Structure 1
Amino acid sequence: MRKIIKFMRRNYKIIIPIILLAGVLFGFQIKKVYDQNEEDRLKISIIRYVLKNLHYEPHRIDNEFSETFYDNFLNSLDPSKRYFTQEDIDEFSMYKTLLDNQIKQEDLTFFKLVDNRYKKRIAEAKTYYVDILAKPFDFKEKETFDIDYENRPYREGTEGVKERWRKQLKASVLSSLYDSEELQKNKEKDGEEFEKKSRKDLEKEARESVKNNMERYFEFLDELDHNQSFSIYLNAMTMVFDPHTNYLTPKSKEDFDVGISGTFEGIGARLSREKDYTKVVELISGGPAWKDGKLEAGDIILKVGQGEEEPVDIVGMRLSNAIEYIKGKKGTEVRLTVKKIDGSVEIIPIIRDEVELEETFAKSSTVEMNGNMYGVINLPKFYIDFKEDDKRTAATDMKHEVESLKAQGVKGLVIDLRNNGGGSLSTAIDIAGLFIDKGPVVQVKYRDKSPNVKFDQSEGIVWDGPLVILVNELSASASEILAAAMQDYKRAVIIGSKQTFGKGTVQTLYSLNQAYNYPKPLGDLKVTIQKFYRINGGSTQLRGVSSDIVIPDRYQFMDIGERDQENPLPWDMIEAASYNTWKGYTNYDEVIKQSQKEINKNSYFDLINKNARWLKDIQNDNTVYLNYDDYVKDVDKRDAESKEFDGIKDFKTELQFKSPTYELPLIAVDTILGDKRKNWHKNLAKDIYVDEALKVLEKLKVKSPKLVQN
């Protein structure tokens, strides 16, 4: 019995959906599966039932569904439109409104047609790149290459496709050639001795390098097995419902388990596939990339090199295959060729390591400003260990940090939730309880069910002083719940980006083998089952949390939020919970208005705003010049324009950040911890957003505790 209780406590998030489905899938019978076709049909049947009966907002299986499914599948297979011809698309198009019927009938006709054609086009493309790269390119010819894959048309016939490959390969060779020439120039400037090569020789080397990369790329495509191919088809279907509902093959499930276990060995970054590219979504606190500080969310990884070895081009490579190149053993070096959000290309060497869990935990610092001491608490994740009741959690650690800073006499607190992608809902509720005296924190809703209001159950308030919460576009999920609750209660001033990420949904994993006793693992479905709502009734979905005080940042015009995903669930409202705003501030609204005016007049923030618009313009520029001189002019133009924004990096304050007193004895015997804190404090002193948060905190005034009414 003890084992059963422990299992249920550990897996309580998935127990409820399983119980809900029990009635639906009871008697769900499928004839015995004897071959691959029947296994594929079985997966379709189970997934359709799960989506219909469990998804928060199930999509009707109709013509609209069919058209979106159709587009998803073709875009997933050929996002850059360099395989299928227009004639292929014309042939496929007869199925555009028939896929709803095929799914209901578990008909694999469309999948087999497209999958077989895709394999045929891949085989043809293998001959294209060999022929094209066999001869030197003419970089004096005036031509360009359009990388607006979404809006460009498919090409007519195989000759049209081959021409697209020619331009793409020419662009790759030109980029490599330019890098080689720049490397020679830098060696000359530094007085290095080296054998200088002609452009002709460098061009030949560049073609050979691109050829080697293409060989590796097609080797990966050749290793694509049926399960992986069919999973693309299944995910094209689940994506119609929302971007977070996905089918995971047994291998993908293993990778997913490793990703959420808290153990990372590699560079410490979460990646996603965006069209043909591998994009950095998030840096894991404490990981090598996070410590190095050069790789950023939004960066595109173009090539991956193992130390001094020739880098491999991963453009167009499947995410799972790209990750195989990037991850590796602790202590080994990986060199990432990265396209930054300003369009520049940079090589970033990183020594792989384990993510130190200590760095994912809450930590705090004190700082003196104008004669008063304030506290800054950084919370990278809302962590919890469901397996062990006595393990530390984000809530217990936050309480400890707050009480420690309070004992030191700080006059106000800044909680930094920037880049915090979320985590445990229960810890977010408990943390909210540190700053309010009993009351609702969030509303959680299953489809067709009344909302469940989640309350803070703790007695009293641990911190009743001024409170500021710092957020950005990458603050998501549980971060948004905490920020929204503090905003609705008027307990804290929210400062940062225009809005947070906007993920207001909850997912659970459902094993397909739970529905059908099959001898082989069938995979899992990650399905959206709930939606979060603020206590004021508004959803955090899409809109996230709008900051009370908006500070410009370089990501503000970038497509990185939930609203920029494919088929996100909509924003909506439900009835507000019953709550009373906090009455502790004497100048809450005045501080917000005054601080916003000051920020709007700040020339430094005006420069950041201009930089953000410039970055967006670059993101929208889809023209690659294939004439060498035009290519160089374009690079030089961007470099010259970027110099206008060099001053952004120069910001620093004279503020002295220090570790809380409880940490000093630990630092005395742990020099590594001491070095980590020194680096953190140094970065805090150069962080203009922390500086603004402290200025707002300094202005906030609270009433005497006796006059405060909740």
Structure 2
Amino acid sequence: MKKTALVLLLSTFSLFAQNSSTSCEILLKINTLLQKEHYRPKPVNDSLSAYVFDELLNNLDPARNIFLKSQADSLANKYRFQLDDLILKKDCSFLDDIKSEYRKSLLRNKAVLEKLKTETINFGTKDTIRFQKKDFTFYLKANEVQKAWNKKIRYEIFDDIAGKSKKLDSLKLNFNSMSLKSQNSIIENELCKINVSLTSSKLFEDDFYNIFCVYFDPHTNYFSNDTKSSFVSTLSKEKLSLGLEVSLNEKNEINVIEIDPNGPAFKTGKIKKGDQILAISNQKETLEVSCSSLESIATMMSSELNTNLTLTLKRNSGKNFKVTIEKQVLKDEENTVYSFIADKDIKVGYIKIPSFYSNFEEENSKGCAQDVAKETVKLLRDDVKGLILDLTDNGGGSMEEAVKLAGLFIDRGPISIVADNKKQLSVINDPYKGVIYKGPIVIIINGNSASASEFFADIMQDYNRAILIGSTSLGKATMQTILPLEENDDQHFIKLTVSKFYRITGKSHQGVGVVPDVLIPTVYQDVFQKESEFPTALKNDSLKSRIRFTPYVSNELIESLAKKSRNRVALDPYFNSIIALNSNIDTIINKAKFEIPMTLDAIFENQAGINILSEEINNFSTDNLSLNVYNSEYNKSLLLLYPSLTEYNKIQLDSLKSNHYLNESISIISDYMTMRKTN
């Protein structure tokens, strides 16, 4: 047994003795704040009770292999419609009851797994396994627990072995020796997960608080100090960082894929690309990667409260080694605006806006909007004839930055309508006089473009200031702020929805997304989760707007440009191949349920089908396009001063040279210039 797992075992019993009265006090403070500040507060009633109860049990037992049906039914009879009354009576003893049943179930599973470790598994048992797409009911009976776990472990062993080679005959030949090793590893991992769950009382409480908040809307969340710090750090282009880029492979291993030569990890001289991270410690707590949630690992790594971290790593098949790193403030290149020039019959500027970051610590103008302004000036010095703003995968950020950015391109006038929790409406006006750039603009969005991205895209579309291309955005038209539960409380926070914004036409993209002028298929576009799919999302509505504004160009010009683009896209082999690829993805993702025999042959075949699709996605070719993309003269001089940026700059350049959305954007700007000359 691993040393960490043993430590967890020894500390199991004390951590579940959380005071329920303290939990109730925090919960009541959360409700008080939500009722006062939330955009549309909801009453604490049976509807809330049922939602919170169901979500809590779903989160605790998503695979339905922890609670017995009898336990789930008993808890539901006692609490599913009573939580609201108990909370208002300041009686949160139900948390102790649910935790007690959860702990009892975990210990039962632990005993079963310890027994399975010593047993020989019969892989010849005739059986099938069914995959459910959605949540399913609790079904487990007391006399079936061992059988259920035996089946689960058997499947995981088959699945593990099936992924180790593309040659089925070789796997069959070595199955006995491989299965013993796999069995031990899988059971140890399951035991480790159970031990983590047994000791995570704080996570249990935090999860419950968050479920309560999400009932009000999906973007209202409970934050501990740690999670608040991690969230805020994502909205900044400069953050305390280890200087490492990691990725998760198909085996759920975390590996180092990039090391910033200016960062603290590089300066230790001990870490190399390809090293596997086994554990992370902030000196108070150690998380083993194999049995901790990715969320907890990400929080520990990104939280600015954890300035010193010790990583346990492994290189190839060598011994484990530890490295302690002190974070330092670094520029996050992936979260920073950058620009290039693309030249194809016409010279255009391309600006990537990865997020609407801001400097929250200082009262100055540094942020996304200022960086876009700088890149625009650089491009204009090189005499570009059009501008392309790429908002794909931009999940939003600071609404203030989005307002400033709109002000750079809109001369004057109203840009949005905001409704607060008192149902009062206010109009946001362009904050600047004049514009930084007067020429044509194309904006690229996709299903991951959200919030502030959508806000900005709305404005540019309504004013006919830009043509939007890509796929429909997420559909989030609400604004959030982070507040402490009480004044001077530095441990408990709520990120809560305080207002909703509308387009100057009175319409809203809430729940429906921003629809581009030219719909262009993107890979995974049907897989991206939409706002409308969240059960507690605010509904779409509209206002009667009497706001007057003057579009930059006529609707007829926009429609003519869009029609030409749609015709090109419809005939483009690349975009048609994306449609076919998405169809294959949807076939696998959207299966309601399917059943396969529990044999190595069947699981190998099923996994092979998924692997073929993964390879098809990974090898999806864009090589038939080779755009002329290069740095502006100003950025060329910067690379001479900062040569460490050269490698990352080349990666960005190479990616854009085969970007078909950039190619279509250039064609739209070329059409625009031609039409303006002839009119």
TM range (shorter): 0.7 to 0.9
Corresponding residue of 1:59: 42
Instruction: Return the alpha-carbon distance in structure 1 between the equivalents of residues 136 and 405 of structure 2.
Output: 49
Q: How many angstroms does 1:319 deviate by?
A: 3.0
Q: Which amino acid aligns with 2:27?
A: I
Kept in 2: contact 1:446–1:530 (CA 8 A): yes
Q: Which amino acid aligns with 1:609?
A: I
Equivalent positions of 1:661-672 (< 5 A) are 661-672=633-644
SS at match of 1:526: strand
Kept in 2: contact 1:465–1:702 (CA 8 A): no
C-alpha offsets along residues 345-391 of structure 1, whole Å, 9 cap, x if unaligned?
Answer: xxxxxx99986334432221112112x21111111122221433456
2:340 aligned residue (348, 351, 365): 365
Is 1:481 aligned to 2:455, yes or no?
yes
Is 1:420 aligned to 2:403, yes or no?
no
Instruction: Return the alpha-carbon distance in structure 2 between the equivalents of residues 72 and 165 of structure 1.
Output: 24
Cα distance change, pair 257–687 in 1 and its aligned pair in 2 (3 A) = closer
Is 1:700 aligned to 2:672, yes or no?
yes
Instruction: Return the alpha-carbon distance in structure 2 between the equivalents of residues 239 and 279 of structure 1.
Output: 30
SS at match of 2:42: coil
Is 1:306 aligned to 2:277, yes or no?
yes
C-alpha offsets along residues 584-639 of structure 1, whole Å, 9 cap, x if unaligned?
Answer: 78732111012112212323212211211211221234546531011112223344
Instruction: Return the alpha-carbon distance in structure 1 between the equivalents of residues 259 and 500 of structure 2.
Output: 34
Kept in 2: contact 1:533–1:539 (CA 8 A): yes
Is 1:216 aligned to 2:195, yes or no?
no
Equivalent positions of 1:374-389 (< 5 A) are 374-389=348-363
Cα distance change, pair 219–307 in 1 and its aligned pair in 2 (3 A) = closer
Equivalent positions of 1:82-101 (< 5 A) are 82-94=65-77, 95-101=79-85
C-alpha offsets along residues 62-86 of structure 1, whole Å, 9 cap, x if unaligned?
Answer: 2222221221121121122111111
Kept in 1: contact 2:51–2:215 (CA 8 A): yes
Instruction: Return the alpha-carbon distance in structure 2 between the equivalents of residues 668 and 457 of structure 1.
Output: 36
Q: How many angstroms does 1:495 deviate by?
A: 0.5
Cα distance change, pair 169–313 in 1 and its aligned pair in 2 (3 A) = farther
**Which consecutive residues of structure 2, in runs of 5 or more, have no partner in the other structure?**
1-17, 261-274, 281-286, 317-324
Is 1:172 aligned to 2:149, yes or no?
no
Instruction: Return the alpha-carbon distance in structure 2 between the equivalents of residues 211 and 704 of structure 1.
Output: 69
Kept in 2: contact 1:266–1:330 (CA 8 A): no
C-alpha offsets along residues 511-534 of structure 1, whole Å, 9 cap, x if unaligned?
Answer: 2232xx88xx66222221111222
Instruction: Return the alpha-carbon distance in structure 1 between the equivalents of residues 40 and 279 of structure 2.
Output: 50
Corresponding residue of 2:86: 102
Instruction: Return the alpha-carbon distance in structure 1 between the equivalents of residues 430 and 37 of structure 2.
Output: 28
Instruction: Return the alpha-carbon distance in structure 2 between the equivalents of residues 50 and 184 of structure 1.
Output: 59
Kept in 1: contact 2:163–2:604 (CA 8 A): no
Cα distance change, pair 152–586 in 1 and its aligned pair in 2 (3 A) = closer
SS at match of 1:479: helix
2:650 aligned residue (666, 678, 690): 678
Is 1:530 aligned to 2:506, yes or no?
no
C-alpha offsets along residues 425-474 of structure 1, whole Å, 9 cap, x if unaligned?
Answer: 22212221222210122222212232221111322222221110011111
Kept in 2: contact 1:307–1:334 (CA 8 A): yes
Instruction: Return the alpha-carbon distance in structure 2 between the equivalents of residues 357 and 379 of structure 1.
Output: 13
Is 1:540 aligned to 2:516, yes or no?
no
SS at match of 2:388: strand
Instruction: Return the alpha-carbon distance in structure 1 between the equivalents of residues 39 and 355 of structure 2.
Output: 25
Kept in 1: contact 2:163–2:607 (CA 8 A): no
Q: How many residue pairs are counted as aligned between the two chains?
A: 618
Corresponding residue of 1:410: 384
Is 1:231 aligned to 2:167, yes or no?
no
Kept in 1: contact 2:20–2:95 (CA 8 A): no
Corresponding residue of 2:534: 565
Corresponding residue of 1:501: 474
Given the two structures, how large is their TM-score scaled by the length of structure 2? 0.82
Cα distance change, pair 216–120 in 1 and its aligned pair in 2 (3 A) = same
Kept in 1: contact 2:65–2:140 (CA 8 A): no
Instruction: Return the alpha-carbon distance in structure 2 between the equivalents of residues 532 and 613 of structure 1.
Output: 34
Instruction: Return the alpha-carbon distance in structure 2 between the equivalents of residues 605 and 496 of structure 1.
Output: 11
Equivalent positions of 1:152-163 (< 5 A) are 152-163=136-147
C-alpha offsets along residues 323-344 of structure 1, whole Å, 9 cap, x if unaligned?
Answer: 55999969986899xxxxxxxx
Instruction: Return the alpha-carbon distance in structure 1 between the equivalents of residues 550 and 95 of structure 2.
Output: 55
Instruction: Return the alpha-carbon distance in structure 1 between the equivalents of residues 668 and 311 of structure 2.
Output: 43
Q: Which amino acid aligns with 1:46?
A: K
Given the two structures, how large is their TM-score scaled by the length of structure 1? 0.78
Instruction: Return the alpha-carbon distance in structure 2 between the equivalents of residues 633 and 399 of structure 1.
Output: 53
Kept in 2: contact 1:65–1:100 (CA 8 A): yes
Instruction: Return the alpha-carbon distance in structure 2 between the equivalents of residues 96 and 42 of structure 1.
Output: 20
Corresponding residue of 2:221: 246
Instruction: Return the alpha-carbon distance in structure 2 between the equivalents of residues 540 and 315 of structure 1.
Output: 40
Q: Which amino acid aligns with 1:235?
A: N
Equivalent positions of 1:612-651 (< 5 A) are 612-621=582-591, 622-623=593-594, 626-640=598-612, 648-651=620-623
Q: Which stretch of structure 1 is more off in the superposition, 82-91 or 643-652?
A: 643-652
SS at match of 2:85: helix
Instruction: Return the alpha-carbon distance in structure 2 between the equivalents of residues 266 and 645 of structure 1.
Output: 29
Q: How many angstroms does 1:654 deviate by?
A: 2.8
Corresponding residue of 2:525: 556
C-alpha offsets along residues 533-581 of structure 1, whole Å, 9 cap, x if unaligned?
Answer: 2222222322221111111112211142322334111122123333221
Equivalent positions of 1:17-166 (< 5 A) are 36-94=19-77, 95-148=79-132, 150-166=134-150
Cα distance change, pair 119–643 in 1 and its aligned pair in 2 (3 A) = closer
Kept in 2: contact 1:415–1:468 (CA 8 A): yes
Cα distance change, pair 312–603 in 1 and its aligned pair in 2 (3 A) = farther
Q: How many angstroms does 1:659 deviate by?
A: 0.8
Kept in 1: contact 2:623–2:658 (CA 8 A): yes
Instruction: Return the alpha-carbon distance in structure 2 between the equivalents of residues 216 and 411 of structure 1.
Output: 59
Corresponding residue of 1:575: 544
SS at match of 2:486: helix
SS at match of 2:121: coil
Q: Which stretch of structure 1 is more off in the superposition, 314-323 or 214-223?
A: 314-323
SS at match of 1:570: coil
Corresponding residue of 1:341: none
Instruction: Return the alpha-carbon distance in structure 1 between the equivalents of residues 247 and 484 of structure 2.
Output: 24
Instruction: Return the alpha-carbon distance in structure 2 between the equivalents of residues 104 and 308 of structure 1.
Output: 41
Q: Which amino acid aligns with 1:600?
A: A
**Which consecutive residues of structure 1, in runs of 5 or more, have no partner in the other structure?**
1-34, 189-195, 272-276, 281-285, 290-303, 337-350
SS at match of 2:673: coil
SS at match of 1:434: helix
Instruction: Return the alpha-carbon distance in structure 2 between the equivalents of residues 472 and 269 of structure 1.
Output: 25
Equivalent positions of 1:192-211 (< 5 A) are 198-211=174-187
Q: How many angstroms does 1:250 deviate by?
A: 4.2
Kept in 2: contact 1:435–1:461 (CA 8 A): yes
Kept in 1: contact 2:403–2:431 (CA 8 A): no
Q: Which amino acid aligns with 2:340?
A: S
Cα distance change, pair 100–548 in 1 and its aligned pair in 2 (3 A) = same
C-alpha offsets along residues 9-66 of structure 1, whole Å, 9 cap, x if unaligned?
Answer: xxxxxxxxxxxxxxxxxxxxxxxxxx93432221122122112121111112222222
Cα distance change, pair 392–234 in 1 and its aligned pair in 2 (3 A) = closer
Instruction: Return the alpha-carbon distance in structure 2 between the equivalents of residues 375 and 674 of structure 1.
Output: 20
Instruction: Return the alpha-carbon distance in structure 2 between the equivalents of residues 209 and 249 of structure 1.
Output: 33
Q: Which amino acid aligns with 2:24?
A: R
Q: How many angstroms does 1:419 deviate by?
A: 1.3
Corresponding residue of 2:569: 599
